[in-house]
Amino acid sequence: MDPLTIDTVKLSGDALVIIDQTLLPNEVKYLSLRETPEICEAIRLLRVRGAPAIGVAAAFGAYLAAYYAPDAGLENTFLDACDQLAASRPTAVNLFWALDRMRSAFAKVSAKSPDEIRSALRAEAQAIMDEDIEISRSIGRFGLGLLRPGMGILTHCNAGTLATAKYGTALAPVYAALDAGLSSLRVYCDETRPLLQGARLSAFEMVSAGVDTTLLCDNMASSLMKAGKVDIIFVGCDRVARNGDAANKIGTSGVAILAAHYGIPFYVCAPSSTIDPAITTGADIPIEFRSPEEVTELWYQKRMAPEGVKVYNPAFDVTDAALITGIITERGLVRAPFEEGFAKLGLLGKR
């Protein structure tokens, strides 16, 4: 299967259609969602995941709330749906960015007829999706400029086509390389505990695309780097502060620390929608904490930890800007000082 034929998230008729990522790689199943609570649940349970894909799903979810609302209650229903969707996950800024765009689109046409409002909201949600695809392509092109034949690429979590509307962020340079005929790359996927996005999703994408792919447990990354197998690291992100601190899936900061020790370039692939101009440093980024059961029993036939044990399960950590070689955006590669670089590319404008 060509992973680029997968529709991670799209609007089909009167429903949001997503691939249920909790079932991959063993089952490819699409879900048709219409009601705000079930869309919120899909986001919370990671049936749809990845910051850009979450933003697209939320935009379509907001539109569908208006689509199904009675004319007399359209505004209240739409705004309430936006609030519910915003509460579904706290860290990925794309979620709030997309919903802010939908609210702004509503405000511009609020005096028009209900059908005109619905049409405008649908167009805005579709624009968010179309822009996401072009952004991923652009990140891929800039990342491709950093690659050479035979390089070993390490990635953490999944920031491929499954995390976006198409192509991905951290894996977009690999897809761009395939398009350019650069097929001799090796990709190493961290397993990414506790939800195994690297094992289940990134490895699935790369193997399906015909890439030389190796899976490793997270605590094997140092050994792999020391062995000289890794030439470059690409990771995605869910929120970037003005100073370049970047929140990504838990374990990313450890990869960055190891990369610094071994002298391996570490790049964050960040759509402009993940750069939050309201956040000065990573200390201001809210971190989601998830259920203890994800660690103690989710992937096991029997519980693998004693009853009563405490569990520390943050979904994300923050990589210090000092550990980041560069941040690849759709407008170009930014190096330190990051705030100055973001400003030069016009990435710190008001939301």
Residues recognised as catalytic = 238
**C-alpha atoms less than 13 angstroms from C-alpha of 61 in its C-beta half-sphere:** 32
Q: Cα-flanking dihedrals φ and ψ of residue 116, to 5°?
A: -70, -35
Nearest 5°: CA angle at 91, between 89 and 96?
A: 75
Contacts of residues 287-295 at CB distance under 8 Å and 24 or more positions apart, as own/partner, are 287/90, 287/91, 287/247, 287/314, 287/315, 287/316, 287/317, 287/318, 288/89, 288/90, 288/91, 288/314, 288/315, 288/316, 289/313, 289/314, 289/315, 290/314, 290/315, 294/194, 294/195, 295/193, 295/194
DSSP assignment string, 28-52: --EEEE-SHHHHHHHHHTTSS-SHH
8 Å CB contact between 189 and 214? yes
8 Å CB contact between 155 and 251? no
The C-alpha atoms of residue 116 and residue 55 are separated, in whole angstroms, by 23
Nearest to 81 by CA among 46, 118, 131: 118
